[in-house]
């Protein structure tokens, strides 16, 4: 898990999570417009982000359409989403009101021992506190 985490700069993880959320909704391709809206960045920044994911080997960027994740990309996206939702579980347990926003910040600095502890405590949960499914990640 730690190796998976450290490969990413923060932005990449956030973008991957956005792409994963689109996949959950049944979209196979995610375009810059959607990422721009989701993350509050400009369309050109969003396009750059998606291109970077494709260059990093997580999928194919189809011009004028968007990014299609490959198996590796899907795996990394699931790992990023899983981490976020496990942190949410912890924060909700602690009674933190704004657990999603806080989980976002903690996720950016979390290291392997926190990830391991979260897996030990919440690893068998199916849903995060907002009711979204926590994706499985094959080890
Ligand atoms: Zn959640």
What CATH code is carried by the domain that includes residue 20? Answer: 1.10.10.10
CA of 64 to the centre of ligand 1 (A): 31
The total domain count for the chain is 1
The answer as to whether 34 is a domain residue is yes
CA of 132 to the centre of ligand 1 (A): 6
CA of 63 to the centre of ligand 1 (A): 32
Report pLDDT digits (tens) over 63-99. 889 999 999 999 989 998 999 999 999 999 999 999 9
CA of 22 to the centre of ligand 1 (A): 15
Whether residue 100 contacts residue 88, with contact meaning beta carbons closer than 8 Å, is answered with yes
The answer as to whether 64 is a domain residue is yes
The answer as to whether 82 is a domain residue is no
The answer as to whether 69 is a domain residue is yes
The answer as to whether 106 is a domain residue is no
**DSSP state for residue 133 in the 8-state scheme:** B
- Domain range for 67 is 2-74
Mean pLDDT of the chain: 87
Q: How far apart are CA 40 and CA 110, in angstroms?
A: 24
- What is the pTM (predicted TM-score) of this model? 0.82
Residue 42 exposed, middle or buried by CB count within 10 Å (0-12, 13-18, 19+)? exposed
The answer as to whether 45 is a domain residue is yes
Q: Would you say how long the chain is, in residues?
A: 139
Report pLDDT digits (tens) over 102-128. 998 888 888 889 999 999 999 999 999
The per-residue DSSP string of 65-80 comes to: TEEEE-HHHHHHHHHH
CA of 129 to the centre of ligand 1 (A): 5
Treating both helix axes as pointing N-terminal to C-terminal, what angle do 10-24 and 43-55 enclose, rounded to 10 degrees? 90
């Amino acid at each position: 898990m730690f190796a998976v985490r450290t490969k990413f700069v923060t932005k990449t993880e956030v973008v991957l999570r956005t792409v994963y959320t689109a996949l959950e909704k049944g979209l196979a391709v995610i375009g810059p417009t959607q990422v721009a809206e989701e993350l509050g960045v400009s369309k050109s920044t969003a396009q750059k982000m998606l291109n970077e994911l494709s260059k990093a080997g997580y999928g194919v960027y189809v011009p004028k359409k968007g990014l299609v994740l490959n198996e590796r990309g899907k795996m990394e996206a699931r790992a990023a989403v899983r981490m976020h939702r496990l942190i949410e579980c912890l924060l909700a347990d602690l009674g933190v009101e704004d657990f999603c926003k806080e989980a976002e910040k903690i996720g950016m600095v979390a290291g392997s021992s926190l990830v391991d502890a979260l897996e030990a405590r919440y690893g068998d949960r199916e849903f995060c506190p907002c009711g979204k499914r926590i994706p499985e990640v094959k080890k």
